[in-house]
Amino acid sequence: MRLKNPSPSWRSQVESWYLAYAALGVAVAGMAPILLPLVVSRTGNAADVGLVMAAFSLGGLAAPAWGVLADHRRLHRLLLRSGLGLAGLSLAAFPLFPNVAAGVALALIQSSCAAAAGTVANLFIVELHPKTEWDGRISWLQTFYGGGQCAGLVLAGALTGAGYTMGLIIAGAIAALGLIPAWKAPRMPPSAAVPRPVLRHAARHLDSSAGSPLRSYHYPGKDSLFRLVRSFFSPFGLLLFGWCVSFAGAGGYFALYPIVMQKEFGVAPPVAATGFAVAAGLGLLLYAPSGRWSERWGSLPVLRGGLFVRLFSFIGLYGLGFVHLPIAGPMALGGFLFLVLAWSPLSVAGTAMAAQLSTLGEGEGLGLFNATSAIGGTAGAFLGGVCSEQWGFAAVSMLGILGVGMALIIFLAVPGETRGGGKYGASDTMERSRG
């Protein structure tokens, strides 16, 4: 008997312009986080590295401006193309300007332009296709981006032998090559923008917010920050504060990852990049189980569990720095693996809780939640660089212990039952709302 509503094939849900976001994932989310710290460390100290990587995260806060521009001027395709082109140009130009001020400016330009391209990604789907197709199309878009990220990490490891300068030039060229499929992006109708739908997907990438299409999609309204201040001590305010503290604690380690692995544990950059790629690939496989765990036990216990894993990973990495074992390098890579794997349940549960607990509407709530990620990542990268310069690279692990531990204490104080209501953060929990 033939099914009345057969599932659409993947070919009908994938479009050629998705390759533009795969290129963005390769260059911005995969290669840049490995190569930028290594290039800066050649002429600067750890504080300089932290400052540049803080700028690399800060550009994600430009998403609201790009979103307003896209909605009101209908410049979606221009933002996609110019974002890819300028992000690629700033990556390629980065090694040519060795001073820190230029590095900060180029990192900020690169991440801001990546946010411009990422902001319009989901708009191409939700404004041109029926709601019944959003799940599959957005899932495939995230798959292209996440796959590009993993490929970029592998490529960064392979290119470190040829020189970090050449690696960044190639990363810039890959981002620029994304202009070819970007030319196939659909034309947007000239009509006025409809209310922005809420997409409660978990962003399937690492916890760097730079360039992520889904994280750039949500942005808060201009009045939501003032309303948030009045309800800061609500469960939603505690969620945002704890999330920011957690991101700040982990952000330093992710920002300085290749240097910490090399200086603290003797892991060569190619091996560190490959280990990062393996961890990222395995992490992608945990999103579906994380959704089931949230559905079964509730989002709050899953969030706490992810923080526990990160806390013990940081404790292990900190202790490993004081014992000079022959296998310290592989053990450090194993500890970092669990840091990355913990992100999947954290992302799924955190996204669900932000949508649940928001006192401002789901759209604005998710916008603030994603902006908090960028703020925390920026603070963590800056603090990680400063602490490393003052007390050595072991201080980055201690920063992670303090940040994640404090966040865990905060989330132990968050009340409320979060069980029920679907697969939080999965692709089947989308509603219409003001955004």
- What tens digit of pLDDT does each residue of 100-148 get? 999 999 999 999 999 999 889 888 998 888 888 888 899 899 889 989 9
Query: Which percentage of the chain shows pLDDT scores above 90?
Result: 57
pLDDT of the residue at 163: 76
Give 415's pLDDT tier (boundaries 50, 70, 90): low
- Could you give the angle at the alpha carbon of 56 between the alpha carbons of 141 and 95, nearest 5°? 105
Q: List the domains of the chain with CATH numbers.
A: 15-188+195-416+423-431 (1.20.1250.20)
63 Cβ partners below 8 Å, 6+ apart? 115, 118, 119, 215, 216, 217, 218, 219, 370, 371
- Could you give the angle at the alpha carbon of 368 between the alpha carbons of 384 and 242, nearest 5°? 50
Three-class SS of residue 199? Answer: strand
Among 65-69, 191-195, 324-328, 397-401, the range scoring the smallest mean pLDDT is 191-195
Helices (H) and strands (E) in the chain, counts: 22, 2
Cβ atoms within 10 Å of 130's Cβ, excluding its own: 7
Is 401 in contact with 85 (CB distance < 8 Å)? Answer: no
Task: Look over the chain and give the mean of its residue pLDDT values, rounded to a whole number.
Answer: 87
pLDDT of the residue at 325: 85
Look up residue 223 and give its DSSP letter: T
pLDDT for residue 193 is more than 80:
no
- Could you give the angle at the alpha carbon of 100 between the alpha carbons of 172 and 84, nearest 5°? 20
Is 224 in contact with 371 (CB distance < 8 Å)? Answer: no
- pLDDT tens across 57-97, in order? 998 888 888 988 888 888 999 999 999 999 999 999 999 98
H helix or E strand, kind and range, residue 403: helix 394-412
pTM summary value: 0.89
Is 240 in contact with 359 (CB distance < 8 Å)? Answer: no
pLDDT of the residue at 200: 80
Which amino acid is present at 124?
A: F
Is 328 in contact with 265 (CB distance < 8 Å)? Answer: yes
Kindly state the tokens that stand for 299: 């989002």
